[in-house]
Amino acid sequence: MFNDEELLVDLYELTMAQGYFKLNKHREEVVFDMFIRDIPEDGKYVVAAGISGVLNYLQNFSFDKENIEYLRTLNLFEDDFLDFLKNFEFDCDVYSVREGEIVFPEEPILKVAGKRLQAQLIETYVLNQINFQSLIATKASRISDMSNSKLVADFGLRRAHSESAGLKASRASYIGGVDSTSNVLAGKRYGIPVTGTMAHSWIMGFENELKSFKEYAKIYKNDTVLLIDTYDTIEGCKNAITTGKWMEENGWSLKGIRLDSGNLIKLSKTCRKMLDEANLKNVKILASGDLNEYKIKKIEESNAFIDGYGVGTEMVTAKRDAALGGVYKLQEDRKQPVMKLSSSEKKRTLPGNKQVYRIKMGNIYKKDIIGLANDEVSGDKLLNCYMRDGNIQNYTYTIKDARRYCQKQKRMFEDKIKGLKNQDYKVEISRNLKKVVDDLTKRIKESLQKS
């Protein structure tokens, strides 16, 4: 097993770190924010995920002897800097939203306050974990939104970009609203309910479909879900009915059938009618096969008789928008606000040590205000200090807590943010922050003109 996660950084983080060390700037106090610029697929919100993993990583962040020696072989780093890394301990303060929180562009998801070298060095890992998991959690949430509260299972492991991505995707999709996963290791590690049916190869391994169904039912009894589209879906449904009646004679009940191809809307209606006429009204119909939120929305709007969905490739890869453009930017330097200017409005950053204030009327969230941390703004503060001096504090949330929190938070937004058409939630900048932005912009432009 490898023990080198501290090297999961872009090289320039380390070369800058050495530069700060050489220039005696490494202990200067700074503030960095991690935030998103755009929402995937022209959506309306992002579900924040990956935060607990970041906190655990930071609490244990250090460089062991073997990895120091590897850095030495690169012929980039001097002995005094490598000796400094030997005794490296992360002791910054970290503020973040809770996992499962609903966030919007430019709002800090995670804020790091502390020594310059430390805060800079963690950039890559923070972005790697939060960008990917938030992307998948958001995709899962959109799929869940379209399912009309029907069960959704994660079937994506075999299409994930790696074993690590598959595990993180299963974790994130559960936070976003998926009910279970086919990923057994994710079930073990994260406590996610596991689920599964059968593959076409099971049916093909017997002389006929009916025998394959009965042999499976003998083993799994009341947990039997039959895949009926190996040869012909309607004939498969007939064989499932025969199996279901045979199971009743033996004191068992057929749990469900699964459709994995064809016109799912039409087939679900036909199969439901056949099952009901056979007095198998309790048998559920599950659907899978390259599904996404758009297809599920269409199925639900057609009044199809589908009781649950298995979603794989489109969710585990967020296929239509396969990266979340989260960034990690310096916002305060030695107690002074700093900002990046750009000809593109989206590339501009909001300076200063900030907080996000969420305003509600009754039980509905109406708008967010991005302000300075010391602004006197009413509303819920989204950023909480979950790490003080490098030690986790007040963060005891489990993955199930994150999932429940996500569902609770979504219920407090108007339904319009949960659709697939772009209807923006209102995010404002506080008066004090706007003044800081205006003053800094003016000062930077004046200095550029002088130079």
pLDDT of residue 321: 86
pLDDT, residue 178, reads: 98
Dihedral sign, Cα of residue 153, residue 155, residue 161, residue 164: positive
Q: How far apart are CA 177 and CA 141, in angstroms?
A: 5
The two three-digit tokens of residue 302, written as one number? 């057609």
pLDDT at 360 exceeding the cut of 90: yes
What is the residue whose two structure tokens read 């050489």?
22
Cα 20 from Cα 79, distance rounded (Å)? 15
Give 378: exposed, middle or buried? Use CB within 10 Å, 0-12, 13-18, 19+.
Answer: exposed
Q: Which residue has the tokens 């599964």?
A: 196
* Residues 274/280/284/290 CA torsion (nearest 10 deg): -30
pLDDT category at 422 given cuts 50, 70, 90 is: low
Asked whether the domain spanning 148-317 has the same topology as the one spanning 5-137+321-450, the reply is: no
Mean pLDDT is lowest, of 160-169, 344-353, 406-415, for 344-353
> Which single residue is written with the structure tokens 């962040």?
61
The pLDDT of 66-72, averaged and rounded, is: 97
Q: What number is the average pLDDT over the span 227-250?
A: 98
Q: Determine which of 61-75, 225-239, 342-356, 416-430 has the lowest per-residue pLDDT on average.
A: 416-430
* pLDDT of 348 higher than 90: no
By residue count, the chain amounts to 451
Mean pLDDT, rounded, for 199-205:
98
CATH architecture of the domain with range 5-137+321-450 = Alpha-Beta Barrel (3.20)
Give the pairing of strands 110-115 and 29-36.
antiparallel
Measured at the CA of 143, the angle between CA 140 and CA 148, to 5 degrees, comes to: 130
Cβ neighbour number for residue 447 with a 10 Å cutoff: 9
pLDDT score for 1: 47
| Overall average pLDDT of the 187-195 stretch | 98
| Mean pLDDT on 285-291 | 97
Residue-range domain boundaries for the chain: 5-137+321-450, 148-317
Whether domain 148-317 has CATH 3.20.20.70: the reply is yes
What is the mean predicted confidence (pLDDT) over 42-49?
92
- Predicted confidence (pLDDT) at residue 341 exceeds the cutoff of 60: yes
100-104, 220-224, 304-308, 344-348 — which is least confidently predicted? 344-348
Q: Which of 257-261, 290-294, 441-445 has the lowest mean pLDDT?
A: 441-445
Residue 416: other Cβ atoms inside 10 A: 11
Give the whole-number percent of the chain exceeding pLDDT 70.
98
Enumerate residues 6+ apart whose C-beta is below 8 A from 226: 197, 198, 213, 216, 217, 236, 239, 240, 243, 254, 256, 257, 258
Taking the CA atoms of 251, 256, 257 and 263 in sequence, report the sign of the dihedral they define.
Answer: positive
- When pLDDT is averaged across residues 89-95 and rounded to a whole number, the result is 98
Residue 231 has a pLDDT of 98
Partner residues linked to 368 by β-bridges = 358, 427
pLDDT at residue 41, as a whole number: 81
The reported pTM is 0.95
pLDDT above 90: percentage of residues in the chain: 89
Average pLDDT over residues 416-433: 84
The more confident residue out of 186 and 424 is 186
pLDDT of residue 2: 58
**b/e per residue 398-409 (b: at least 16 CB within 10 A):** ebeebbebbeeb
Task: Using pLDDT thresholds of 50, 70 and 90, give the confidence band for residue 450.
Answer: confident
Query: Quick one: average pLDDT of 34-57?
Result: 93
pLDDT bracket for residue 451 (50, 70, 90)? low
Q: Who has greater pLDDT, 353 or 423?
A: 353
